[in-house]
A and B are shown apart, each in its own frame.
Chain A
Amino acid sequence: MQFWIIQGLNSLSLGGLLFLLSSGFSLIFGLMRLANLTHGAFFMLGTYFGATALRAYSGLNIWVTALGAGFAVAAIGGLFERLVLTRLKTNPLGQVLVTLGMSFIISDACLVLWGGDSIPVPTPHNLQAPTRVLGFVFPTYRLVLVGCAIGAAIALYFLMERTRLGAMIRAGVDDRQMARAVGIPVSNLFTIVFCLGAGIAGAGGVLGGPILSAYPGLDADMLPLALIVVILGGIGSLLGAFVGSFIIGFIYTFGTALFPELAYIILFLPMIVVIAFRPQGLFGRVGA
């Protein structure tokens, strides 16, 4: 029983992390029609930033670090969008290729800067003690992480559905040309959304640090998970990213625990089923 509960919680926390990663990917894809293959690298960059900061200053709060790293990664993403991606507006294939190139550059730069050994990220002191509920023992940090992802999901929902910025983004997703015609600065929205997506991934990288730790190849491990989540949930759909993240979180965690060698095959079974019957994904719109 303890096994199932602990693995269940692990699945939830991995699902939460995957949501932080894939929501940004999905937002960027929805508005910019851009498969941002740098997203895994942004996540890894956040983890390394967090690892460095938290190990250098032991009193540092992980939430402040996540916020700081989020802004730092958002700034890098913004620069990349402004300097490179805007030049390739008419060349969607070229955009994907430069994001791939950028991911190689970032992951190799991390290897140079931080070396090939994995760097553990300390769990915050006040969250190290396990929580006991109904006689079961839970690692507190993972519980908090799940709460954090749900909080981020609610915040993103309000941002998209209840604010002026969200309304403009939705208008841009629905019809870019009409949005431009009524005076919405779509190019600026692109930059904002790209920064936002990169920032969430960076902050998610810090929060995932205590569980995953920072190591070379983290980007290559996370990117396919994000791709599978958004293909499953529907590209461009926030709800799809949320549901897809938790589905994949469960499948991956239980797959790795029960059939460690086949985890990767089990992982892609739901994707095949969904693609076969709903090519647009669980919550994707036709033609999106």
Chain B
Amino acid sequence: MKWIAAALLAGLLLLLPLFAGDFYINLASQILIAAIFALSLNLLVGFGGMTSLGHASYLGVAAYISALLTSRYGFGHGAAAIISIAGTIATAAFFGIIALRATGLGFLMITLALSQVLWGLAYRMSDVTNGDNGIAGLTRPMPFGISLDGAAAFYWFALIVTSIAFLMMAIFVSSSFGSSLKGVRDQPRRMAALGFNPWMIRWITFIYAGFWGGVSGLLYVYYNKYIHPTSLSTTSSAEALLGVIAGGSGTLGGPVVGATLVLLLKNYASAYIERWNMLLGLVFLFIVLVMPTGIVPGLSKLMTRLRRGPR
């Protein structure tokens, strides 16, 4: 039953461009990008117990480095991608050293402050980043000579990357390292007593999450062919966090569902009203007050109850 559903879903995702229009294909591509981003944040929030409000930093750093290298310094996409991912990893490693001096709310505040610093830098350092105008006129890469300018081609490219990301993160979480991460989340002192190094486990996870955040940032800048400081803003981090919390942190499917919902809401709501930030705030209040554990855990609880029959 479960396998049939998974196969149906995979088939649907693969064949989507054959029956959907360009608008929906592009929407699906955006969802895939948001899903990688939410999944990477979920490594921290759900499996590591580290609630970061600065995850947009990694998306933004990768996107900005790639944009600058390809548009201004004439780098090819391959080299630019490698350098920007390396830059993102370095940023995450450095920010991790600072932020992981604290846990809990202190960690949250430091990640928020650090990401605001990057946002301010992107805004004010207009010689380099072009400030509020953003960097426009970017191109998409051509892996193996295949053009990704069509909606369907880009969708398939994003689908491949997303599938790899999902698998890699699923393996990461279910590995023995993932178990020790969950141990550190729940009982850091006992784990330390058992000889694990909680700080190192958290730091490695922080960098790994930053890496996938950077990958989603690359896809993001390829898709939009444009980058603006708002990608680094608190709103951007908060949208991803809302996706993780709404979908269900600490599950693999949750962030994907949550990110999909946030993105659909953003796209459809902004067609009718301009007030996306207000709506985002209200959804935050609603989710936290009404569905604190998220949609996916709530639904799976409901499913098991239905299967067992009414008591």
**Which single member of B101, B112, B120, B289 contacts A279 (CB below 8 Å)?**
B101
Bound CA span A129–B281, Å: 43
Which chain A residue has the least Cβ–Cβ distance from B249?
A93
Taking CB atoms and an 8 Å cut-off, the chain A residues in 80-116 that contact chain B are: 84, 87-88, 91-94, 96-98, 100-105, 107-109, 111-112
Is the C-beta of A258 less than 8 angstroms from some C-beta in chain B? no
> In the complex the two chains form, is B113's CB within 8 Å of A271's CB?
yes
- A224 contacts which chain B residues (CB < 8 A)? 112-113, 116-117, 120
- A279 contacts which chain B residues (CB < 8 A)? 101-102, 106
Bound CA span A213–B86, Å: 41
Say how far A220's CB is from chain B's closest CB, in angstroms: 7
> In the complex the two chains form, is A87's CB within 8 Å of B101's CB?
no
Is the C-beta of A147 less than 8 angstroms from some C-beta in chain B? no
Bound CA span A224–B233, Å: 12
- A93 contacts which chain B residues (CB < 8 A)? 51
Which of B116, B233, B280, B281 is the most central at the interface, judged by chain A CB atoms within 10 Å of its CB?
B281
- B245 contacts which chain A residues (CB < 8 A)? 97
Taking CB atoms and an 8 Å cut-off, the chain A residues in 4-51 that contact chain B are: 29, 33-35, 37
- A267 contacts which chain B residues (CB < 8 A)? 117
Known: A108-B275, A264-B117. Is A96-B105 also a contact (CB below 8 A)? yes
Which chain B residue has the least Cβ–Cβ distance from A260?
B124
> In the complex the two chains form, is B238's CB within 8 Å of A100's CB?
yes
> In the complex the two chains form, is B281's CB within 8 Å of A102's CB?
yes
> In the complex the two chains form, is A104's CB within 8 Å of B284's CB?
yes
> In the complex the two chains form, is B292's CB within 8 Å of A94's CB?
yes
- A268 contacts which chain B residues (CB < 8 A)? 113-114, 117
Chain B binding surface SS class = helix
Bound CA span A109–B282, Å: 12
Which chain A residue has the least Cβ–Cβ distance from B122?
A264
Bound CA span A108–B292, Å: 24
Is the C-beta of A193 less than 8 angstroms from some C-beta in chain B? no
> In the complex the two chains form, is A98's CB within 8 Å of B289's CB?
yes
> In the complex the two chains form, is A96's CB within 8 Å of B108's CB?
yes
The digit string for B240-272, where 1 denotes a CB below 8 A from any CB of A, is 011001000000000000000000000000000
**Which single member of B114, B117, B278 contacts A105 (CB below 8 Å)?**
B278
Question: Which stretch of A135-143, A157-165, A227-235 is in the interface?
Answer: A227-235
Is the C-beta of A192 less than 8 angstroms from some C-beta in chain B? no
Bound CA span A101–B277, Å: 9
Is the C-beta of A275 less than 8 angstroms from some C-beta in chain B? yes
- A167 contacts which chain B residues (CB < 8 A)? none
The digit string for A46-70, where 1 denotes a CB below 8 A from any CB of B, is 0000000000000000000000000
Known: A98-B285, A104-B284. Is A91-B110 also a contact (CB below 8 A)? no
Bound CA span A263–B51, Å: 27
Is the C-beta of A134 less than 8 angstroms from some C-beta in chain B? no
> In the complex the two chains form, is A103's CB within 8 Å of B281's CB?
yes
The digit string for B179-190, where 1 denotes a CB below 8 A from any CB of A, is 000000000000
Is the C-beta of A133 less than 8 angstroms from some C-beta in chain B? no
Is the C-beta of A272 less than 8 angstroms from some C-beta in chain B? yes
How many residues on A have C-beta within 8 angstroms of the other chain's C-beta atoms? 47
Is the C-beta of A261 less than 8 angstroms from some C-beta in chain B? yes
Taking CB atoms and an 8 Å cut-off, the chain B residues in 49-89 that contact chain A are: 51, 53
Known: A97-B241, A264-B124. Is A84-B285 also a contact (CB below 8 A)? yes
Known: A112-B275, A227-B112. Is A97-B288 also a contact (CB below 8 A)? yes
Which chain A residue has the least Cβ–Cβ distance from B245?
A97
**Which single member of B106, B121, B241 contacts A231 (CB below 8 Å)?**
B106
> In the complex the two chains form, is A35's CB within 8 Å of B105's CB?
yes
Is the C-beta of A1 less than 8 angstroms from some C-beta in chain B? no
> In the complex the two chains form, is B285's CB within 8 Å of A101's CB?
yes
> In the complex the two chains form, is B105's CB within 8 Å of A84's CB?
no
- A29 contacts which chain B residues (CB < 8 A)? 105
Bound CA span A274–B9, Å: 50
Say how far A99's CB is from chain B's closest CB, in angstroms: 9
- A265 contacts which chain B residues (CB < 8 A)? 117, 121
- Show the binding face of B for A, using Cβ within 8 Å: 51, 53, 98, 101-102, 104-106, 108-110, 112-114, 116-117, 120-121, 124-127, 233-235, 238, 241-242, 245, 275, 277-278, 280-285, 288-289, 292
> Could you list 30 A-B pairs, sorted by A, with CB under 8 Å?
A34-B105, A35-B105, A35-B108, A91-B292, A94-B288, A96-B105, A97-B241, A97-B284, A97-B288, A98-B289, A100-B234, A100-B238, A100-B281, A101-B280, A102-B281, A104-B277, A104-B278, A105-B281, A112-B275, A220-B234, A224-B112, A227-B112, A227-B113, A231-B113, A261-B126, A268-B113, A268-B114, A271-B98, A272-B98, A276-B101
Extra contacts, 15 of them, besides A35-B108, A105-B278, A105-B285 (Cβ < 8 A), are A84-B289, A91-B292, A93-B51, A96-B105, A96-B108, A97-B245, A98-B284, A98-B288, A100-B53, A100-B234, A101-B280, A228-B113, A235-B106, A279-B102, A279-B106
- Show the binding face of A for B, using Cβ within 8 Å: 29, 33-35, 37, 84, 87-88, 91-94, 96-98, 100-105, 107-109, 111-112, 220, 223-224, 227-228, 230-231, 235, 260-265, 267-268, 271-272, 275-276, 279
Interface pairs A-B: 3 shortest CB-CB: A101-B284, A104-B281, A105-B281
